[in-house]
Amino acid sequence: MVEIPKTQPEIIMNLWAFIQRYRHPSGNFPLIYQLGIRLYAATGSDQDKLALLGKLAAWDYHLASVFPIPESRTVHLGLGPPDEIRVPTLAGVIPVQMISNPEQQMALFGDVMDAIRQSLPENTLTTEFKHTPLEDLSLLYTFTPVDVGEDGKMIARTRAPELTMGEPYVARNLWAFPDSKSRLVETLAGRAYLATGDRIEVEGILANLAVADHFLLNRVELPKPIPTTETGENRSRSKDFTTIKAHEDAMFSLVDDQILKEIPSKYADCEKKRTHRYTLPVGDSIRHATIVWADSSGNTATM
């Protein structure tokens, strides 16, 4: 049995700016052409949450929501050498100087935050935490530039460059939501993450996010509710999940399909002519499955 920590879950976020150099005989110009954002509902101290964001910042942008810079934003790069043609005005990009300090970073993401806020579901669970508490922009966050090469390869410029080496762990949180009266599992949710660190660290990230990250997700309805094996007077105390375990692979395949469908395509060049979509090997991952009991205490139990 895993009790929800005493600290209230808090919405935190990773922000990314995708940067590519526009090459011209007059010079190479680093330009921001799209933004990425991903919210998480985490527990612990601010130091714990920043450490969690850092472990995810190096790779999780592949699964983040992405937003191109509007075409109304333009950059004019001036004149080339006398024997060269004029450098054209580029639309849908902004100079990297616009992210030199935190105030500029948050201003840049203002419209993106509005779009994210409007897309969040309201998943009622307890009277204390009915829906995603995203009311303003004063959220704990980590900002990370992502350098995009001419071949479209993306590398996050993290404070710890070793995090971008090798391959990340693919980790999944899966949730099942039984009806409080019938004890039948009626809806599911799932989320994938790309995390760095050793396996124990990644499992710790999953356990932390298992508590409340499902508040940020739309749930998948099961065609036929699956019963738990709880019966009689022990129903409210004993958590025997053998029946759900027996159906687990088939049941969560619906969630895996949803996870794959929601991976966004990103532009792989600043002229927005090529796109890239991350291939997520869902079958080869660290998995953390949780049943969320909709009772007044908000307790969860892992299986």
Buried b / exposed e across 83-110, counting CB within 10 Å, b at 16+?
Answer: eeeebeebebbbeeeebeeeeebbebbe
Read off the pLDDT of each residue in 211-236 and give the average, rounded to a whole number. Answer: 71
Indicate the pTM of the whole model: 0.85
- pLDDT range class, residue 233, cuts 50, 70, 90: very low
Residues 267, 254 contacting (CB under 8 angstroms): no
Taking the CA atoms of the chain, what radius of gyration do you get in angstroms?
Answer: 22
CA-based diameter of the chain, in Å?
A: 88
- CA of 69: how far to CAs of 57, 108, 140, in Å? 20, 10, 23
Tokens, residue 20? 């590519």
Domain ranges of the chain: 10-302
Q: Compute the Cα dihedral for 45, 47, 52, 53 and give only its sign.
A: positive
CA 103 and chain centroid, separation:
23
Read off the pLDDT of each residue in 29-48 and give the average, rounded to a whole number. Answer: 93
- pLDDT range class, residue 232, cuts 50, 70, 90: very low
Average pLDDT taken over every residue of the chain: 80
- pLDDT range class, residue 161, cuts 50, 70, 90: confident
- pLDDT range class, residue 281, cuts 50, 70, 90: confident
Is residue 73 over pLDDT 60? Answer: yes
- pLDDT range class, residue 107, cuts 50, 70, 90: confident
- pLDDT range class, residue 82, cuts 50, 70, 90: very low
- CA of 260: how far to CAs of 50, 97, 124, 215, 301, in Å? 27, 35, 25, 19, 26
| Interval 266-278: pLDDT, tens | 999 999 999 999 9
| Interval 172-187: pLDDT, tens | 999 988 877 777 888 8
